[in-house]
Chains A and B, each alone.
Chain A
């Protein structure tokens, strides 16, 4: 069965510092990987997906099949980036049934 691991429950960085939220997955096939973000008192929303290869709000994530990782990175963190971040995996053709990681609470300090 597929599994998504986010090893850090909490992560604090100072404003302007680089940030990396780790995500590893286990699945023998070719999954789709996503990062979702949940700001305080708001609903979960899509941040980015690996097939798009785009940068959203300065965040990027590269799928590394060799290391089965999909780490989320931003070179200069901002206070408004403070939120809960979930890495998620979808099996190809599964109509978006997602397996979520446990989430990482990012706090960007002033």
Chain B
């Protein structure tokens, strides 16, 4: 089946720094990718929809200047957490849509901000 890969799997950074997380569709092209956030023992919350070649669509309450999303190619979307703070620590998961409409998820990236 289709594979979506995220990098890094986990990252620790200092407060105030920026962190970039990559989401790649390895064997298919994805015009649309989605970014989710998951707090411990909680559900996945959709943050934004990443569209290739255009601006991302953010969900209500998600700061677009805080969470920068770039979808420069059909196989890569990036999420940059700018000026990260401890409250940004979370598990970030991306997903990509295959042409069939089926959704495939990445393995997730755990961010810890000290």
Contact = CB atoms under 8 A, between A and B. Distances in A.
Interface string B1-28: 0001000000000000000000000000
Contacts, number: 42
A100 B103 contact: no
Nearest to B41: A9
A98 B103 contact: yes
Interface in B43-90: 43-46, 49
Chain B interface mostly: strand
Chain A interface mostly: loop
Contact of A96 (B42, B97, B107): B97
A44 B34 CA distance: 14
Nearest to B97: A96
Q: Which of A9, A43, A45 has the most CB of B within 10 A?
A: A43
Contact of A46 (B4, B36, B103, B107): B103
Interface residues of A, number: 16
Contacts of A86: 43-44
B105 A45 contact: yes
Nearest to A1: B60
B49 A95 contact: yes
Given A43-B106, A43-B108, A45-B105, A100 B32 contact: no
A97 B46 contact: yes
Interface of A: 9, 42-46, 86, 95-103
What 4 A-B pairs come out closest when comparing CB atoms? Answer: A44-B105, A102-B43, A100-B43, A43-B107
